[in-house]
Amino acid sequence: MTKKITIRKGQLGLLAKEGDYYQVLEAGEHRLPWFSKPEVLMVERDGSEVPPALAEYLRRFQPEWAAHYCLTVDLTEHEAGALYMNGVLQEILPPATRRLYWLADEALKLVRLDTRQPQVPTDIMNAVLQPRRSGAVKGREAILTVQVPAWHVGVLKIDGETQALLPPGLTAWWKVNHLVEAEVVDTRLQVLEVSGQEILTKDKVNLRLNLAANWRYSDVLQAFGQLTKPLDHLYRELQFALREAVGTRTLDELLEDKQIIDEVVSAQVKSRMMPYGIEVASLGVKDIVLPGDMKTILSRLVEAEKSAQANVIRRREETAATRSLLNTAKVMENNPVALRLKELETLEKVAERIDKISVFGGLDQVLHGLVNIKG
């Protein structure tokens, strides 16, 4: 007696006895013996991966089946694989991958890629980055994508060696078999703030200063070739120069010439950073904050200085007024006309304050009665 079994299209039936596969059934109807019925393993020929245990069995004991029904993937240490299904990238296989996939007609395809060339081919990069409903490409973490915006450049290091600068655009690089690092650098003028620097002056006054510097890269490769972190190095140089400019001068010297800090720091930082490919366009101290008690002392000092200046000016004006009055008296002493004019001027001032005047005995007597200067 026999038993009928049907294998659909796109399927395979593997017959086994006591765990040993001995026959492959393709699509169609097949009859199996009723007694001593074999084990049947149904598999789908849909491009899926063959389980590792079964794949190892087929490689060792049924290599003809593996060659006929499977896609064999044996990648070397310097190869990556791009697995396509119906022309669509499904997975990026790392080097030294060893797998079997069930063939689905001609839909399944493997493309071998040499990772000794660090840059990923453009078509692979575009396929990995293309959004899809089915989800992201498997194994995409083996690729590093670098996007460089306009007015920027990319600093790429492969296995610790700095490469040529990357222009604006999108590139991809193999992370397998390589240590890849990338940093996007802005080549435009930038601002670096150095805030809250507490520094003692030469006369032991504690100052808090805030400084701002405008800078740019003059040579990006030179900067990253000599410095691990160029921006941190510039920040430290600004700190050192600021402390040197303030710590070697007294508070009076700094207050007397406020531009000296900018000049000293600028000259020192420019000379130190130029060999590293960094240009400092300009810098300046934004704020100088004094301690509370020092603010009070300086306020009193300024108040006293201004009060003394006001007294000097007042004395000078009083002396000038007295000297002018004396000169006027000397002129009127020998000039009756001038004296008479002064009398009329005095009368005019008095009349300005009087609302109504009643005159008796004539105007001339009034003038002589009001103003009478005896020698």
The answer to whether residue 224 sits within a structural domain is yes
C-alpha to C-alpha distance for 103 and 12, rounded to whole angstroms:
11
138 and 208 in a single domain? The answer is: no
pLDDT computed for residue 317 by the predictor: 82
Instruction: Select from 121, 153, 184 the last residue of a domain.
Output: 184
For residue 223, give both structure tokens. Answer: 């900067």
Q: How many domains does the chain have?
A: 3
218 and 243 in a single domain? The answer is: yes
The answer to whether residue 226 sits within a structural domain is yes
262 and 375 in a single domain? The answer is: no
258 and 343 in a single domain? The answer is: no
195 and 66 in a single domain? The answer is: no
pLDDT computed for residue 38 by the predictor: 85
For residue 141, give both structure tokens. Answer: 């973490």
The span from the first CA to the last CA of the chain, in angstroms, equals 167
Q: What is the dihedral sign for C-alpha 79, 83, 88, 91?
A: negative
Q: Which residue is it, tokens 């930038």? A: 190
pLDDT computed for residue 373 by the predictor: 46
**Domain extent for 132:** 45-184
Instruction: Select from 290, 322, 354 the last residue of a domain.
Output: 290
pLDDT tens series, the chain, 375 aa: 677 889 998 899 999 988 899 999 999 998 888 777 788 999 999 899 999 999 999 999 999 999 999 999 999 999 999 999 989 999 999 999 999 999 987 789 999 999 999 999 999 999 999 888 878 899 999 999 999 999 999 999 999 888 889 999 999 999 998 999 999 999 999 999 999 888 888 888 888 899 999 999 999 999 988 998 999 999 999 999 999 999 999 888 887 887 899 999 999 999 999 999 999 999 999 888 876 665 565 566 566 676 777 788 888 888 887 887 777 777 777 777 776 777 677 767 776 777 666 666 555 655 565 555 444
Nearest to 207 by CA among 245, 237, 241, 251: 251
C-alpha to C-alpha distance for 213 and 195, rounded to whole angstroms:
11
173 and 201 in a single domain? The answer is: no
250 and 281 in a single domain? The answer is: yes
C-alpha to C-alpha distance for 58 and 76, rounded to whole angstroms:
21
226 and 176 in a single domain? The answer is: no
pLDDT computed for residue 359 by the predictor: 61
Residue type, 267: A
pLDDT computed for residue 367 by the predictor: 57
pLDDT computed for residue 372 by the predictor: 53
279 and 196 in a single domain? The answer is: yes
pLDDT computed for residue 374 by the predictor: 46
60 and 135 in a single domain? The answer is: yes
Instruction: Select from 184, 215, 233 the last residue of a domain.
Output: 184
C-alpha to C-alpha distance for 180 and 196, rounded to whole angstroms:
37
